[in-house]
Amino acid sequence: MRPLPSAIALLTLASIRRLLREGLVIRSLIFPVALTTGTEVVTLGVVAITVPDDQVAVPTSWTDDALGQLLATHQITLEPTSDPAGAVFNKEAKAGFDGSKVYTLGLPPELLLVESYLRSKHPESWQIEPVLREHRPQDLPGAGRLISRLVSAIYALYGVVIGAGMIARDRDDGTLAAEFLLPVPRFAIAASRWIAASLVLCGCQIPALFLLDALISVPDLYAQMGHGAAASLTSCAIGLAAIGSSGAKSGFSARLAGALSADFALYLAGRLIPGLAPILPVASLGQASEPWLPLILAALFALGSIFQFQRVNGR
C-alpha cells in the first residue's frame, strides 16, 4: 500500500492526463487567451490606423520657422490648417497652436514641445489651461484591471464545469467505481481531482494574465493573479461538491446550474457588500489588495467539498 501523499500524487497525475486528452477542455481553456490576444492585436491595428501622425496644426498664415525647427529635431511636422483647434478635436493632429494657445486632447509629447516654445516667446504670461476638455485619467476605469477580471471570471466559470464534469464523467465511465476499490480513503480521490482541475486551470489562467499585461499592462498584476487563482480554486471546489455529493442517479444539469448559481452568488456578494470584496474568493476578482485571505478561504472551500464527497460516498 502506497503512502497517502504518493497515492494522491498518482491519482492527480492520472486526472490531469485525462483532462489534457479531452480536446474540448483544451480548446475551452485556450479560448480566453486567443480571444484576448486577437482582440488586442485588432485594437492596436485600429489605433495605428486612426491615431494622427506626429504633427502639430498651425494656422495657414504661420511664418515663424523657430517652432518648425524645434519640432523637426523630434521628427514632428507642422500641418497648416485654417482651424488648429478643430484639427485636434477631429484627431487630425496631436496638438494645435494658434500663436498664443496650445490645443490638445491629452498630454502627448507634442504638447510639451509647443508649450516650451510658447514659454520661450512669452515668459511673463504663459499658463496651462484645459481648452477642449479636461484630461483626468484617474477617473477612467482601468482597462487592464477590467479585462483581467473578465478573463479570470471566465476561468472561474470553467472551474465549476470542470470540477463537476470530472466527477460526472468518471462516474459514468466506471473510473470512479474502480478507484473506490483502491486501498485509499475517499477524500484522496476527491482531493486528487480538485488538485488536477486547479493545476490545469491556473496553468492556463496565469500565462493569460501575463500575456494580457504584456499587451495592455495590468495594474497590480500579481494581486490579480492571486485573486484569479483563488476564484478558480473555489469554483473547482463548488463544481466538485455539487456532483460529488449527489448519488449516481442524480441529474447533472440541475446540479451544475446550482453550482454556477453559487459561484455567481459569491461574486454578487462582493458587489452588494463591499466589505466582503477583498476577502471573499470570486468576489475579490479585480481587487488590488493582497490575495492571501481569499486563497486561504478557497482552500477551506476545497476541504469542505472534499470531506463532503467522503461523507456521501463512504470511507
* Sole residue written with cell 448519488: 247
Q: Is residue 212 part of a domain?
A: yes
Q: What angle do CA 7, 11, 13 make, to 5 degrees?
A: 120
CATH number at residue 104: 3.40.120
34 shares its domain with 165: yes
Single residue among 138, 173, 208 that ends a domain in this structure: 138
Which pTM value belongs to this model? 0.69
Q: Is residue 175 part of a domain?
A: yes
Which residue ranges in the chain fall short of pLDDT 70?
Answer: 1-2, 40, 43-44, 46-53, 74, 105-112, 115, 118-119, 121-142, 245-252, 315
Beta bridge partners of 57: 79, 96
75 shares its domain with 25: no
278 shares its domain with 186: yes
23 shares its domain with 126: no
285-304 pLDDT, tens digit per residue, is 989 899 999 999 999 999 99
Q: Is the dihedral of CA 294, 300, 301, 302 positive or negative?
A: positive
185 shares its domain with 291: yes
Q: Is residue 24 part of a domain?
A: yes
Q: How far is CA 176 from CA 2, 23, 188, 255, 259, in A?
A: 19, 21, 12, 18, 21
Single residue among 138, 171, 195 that ends a domain in this structure: 138
Number of domains into which the chain is organized? 2
State the residue range of the domain holding 83: 54-138
47-60 pLDDT, tens digit per residue, is 556 555 577 788 88
Beta bridge partners of 80: 58
Of 294, 22, 309, the C-alpha closest to 162 is 22
